[in-house]
Amino acid sequence: MFKINNNVIKKIYKKIKEYDKIVIARHVGPDPDAIASQTALRDSIRLTFPNKDVVAVGLGVSKFKYYGILDKIDNDKYAGSLLIVLDVPNIHRVDGIDGLKYKEIMKIDHHPAEDVKGKVDWTDETACSTCQMIAELILKSPLKLDTKIAGNLYLGVVSDSDRFLLSYTTPKTFRVMHELLVKSKLEFTSLYNYLYDRSLDEVRFQGFLSTNMKVTDNGLGYIVIPNSIIKEYNVDLATPSNLINSFNFIREVIVWTFITEDAKNKAYKVSIRSHGPIVNSTAAKYNGGGHKYASGARLTSEEEIDSFINDLDRLCEEYKRGSISNI
Ligand code: AMP
């Protein structure tokens, strides 16, 4: 048995029981943890309370359709609902709630807290993923579990922890997964294809990134990816951030960042990873945020790109000199 956040779990369950209409949302540009936590919680509430009207909103992503189909809703019908926000702390990054007149917000997230605040709020920065938190919630409350829900949660955890490799993976992650697998009897090894199947185009694009990434003397790896390259390799805007964790463990690199042109929005989508200094404060300076060592930002001009790269390079230099630590 693992130590549980009994109090907050009780409060969350009580809130879910209280409302007949529940809308579940997550961040824009979803990853497997965002979508899987959303559909798993929706399906578990539906299974437990067949008479409740529970929906999962936001733009669907076809490559993540395995996790379940999202719901298109008529906002008027869901006025007065409970809005559960998963995996995102900033209100402007919550997808699919424009014009929704919800009565109350409740957040469950593993990012540092920002401006999404519910009366009931479960923020656990020590959790490797939101799926770990939803698994804990389901296992330690009367919410029901089936094999599909368990599979979604398992894949969300595996994806966000990068196969139990990133530093937020803790003994608790394994304890929650152990209980999830035992209780659901999930045959998890057959599911990996849903996470790791990829096109030859994407593999070749990864080759492009490693060949063209510049590395400074201070250990900053960076690459600016123009829209023409995204098109040439037949990949999409989300591909660089899906690949960025594969650049871990490069001896010469302390911090690395992919800056991808988002031509439609005249901006640059940025992913940052670090195994040295904390980078989310630099991300926050550039319209971003996220975890201490895995963050994102948005840039809007070439001057901003230069300034951002300089800031990260200086951070690496200070880290190498020992004038800042990684805690
Ligand atoms: P990514 O590199 O897209 O996987 O994002 C890494 C982390 O940073 C995730 O936790 C994201 O939710 C967060 N993130 C990405 N972009 C932004 C942004 N523009 N503002 C705040 N957080 C972000």
Separation CA 173–CA 138 (nearest Å): 14
Ligand 1 atom closest to the Cα of residue 273 is 2
319 pLDDT above the threshold of 90: yes
How far is the centre of ligand 1, averaged over its atoms, from the C-alpha of 30 (Å)? 10
What is the helix, strand, coil percentage profile of the chain, to 5? 45, 20, 35
pLDDT for 199: 95
327 pLDDT above the threshold of 60: no
Average pLDDT over the chain, rounded to whole?
96
Place of tokens 């098109």: 231
What b/e sequence results for 73-105 when a residue is b if at least 16 CB atoms lie within 10 Å of its CB, and e otherwise?
A: beeeebeebbbbbbbbbbeebbbbbeebebeeb
Contacts of 234 (CB under 8 A, 6+ apart): 199, 201
pLDDT for 323: 75
109 pLDDT above the threshold of 90: yes
Instruction: Band the pLDDT of 84: cuts 50, 70, 90.
Output: very high
pLDDT for 111: 96
How far is the centre of ligand 1, averaged over its atoms, from the C-alpha of 295 (Å)? 5
Residue nearest to atom 12 of ligand 1 (CA): 290
45 pLDDT above the threshold of 90: yes
Instruction: Band the pLDDT of 4: cuts 50, 70, 90.
Output: low
What average pLDDT does the segment 231-236 reach? 97
How far is the centre of ligand 1, averaged over its atoms, from the C-alpha of 2 (Å)? 29
pLDDT for 1: 45
Planar angle of CA 196, 297, 317, nearest 5 degrees: 100
Residue 271's SS3 state is strand
pLDDT for 325: 65
Terminus-to-terminus CA distance in the chain, angstroms? 30
Give the pTM. Answer: 0.93
pLDDT per residue as tens digits for the range 234-256: 999 999 999 999 999 999 999 99
Q: Is the model more confident about 2 or about 324?
A: 324
The residue ranges of DSSP E strands in the chain, in sequence order, are 21-25, 53-56, 82-86, 104-109, 120-123, 214-215, 220-225, 255-262, 267-274, 289-290, 294-299
Separation CA 131–CA 137 (nearest Å): 10
193 pLDDT above the threshold of 80: yes
3 pLDDT above the threshold of 60: no
49 pLDDT above the threshold of 80: yes
Separation CA 266–CA 42 (nearest Å): 35
Residues with CB under 6 A from ligand 1: 27, 90, 93, 111, 241, 244, 271, 287-291, 294-298
Instruction: Band the pLDDT of 271: cuts 50, 70, 90.
Output: very high
| Long-range contacts, stretch 164-171, CB < 8 angstroms, 24+ apart | 164/128, 165/248, 166/128, 166/245, 166/293, 166/294, 167/293, 168/110, 168/126, 168/127, 168/128, 168/129, 168/291, 169/128, 170/126, 170/128
Contacts of 215 (CB under 8 A, 6+ apart): 221, 252, 253
Query: Hey, which of 28, 116, 241, 295 would you mutate to test ligand 1's pocket, going by the most ligand atoms within 8 Å of its Cβ?
Result: 295
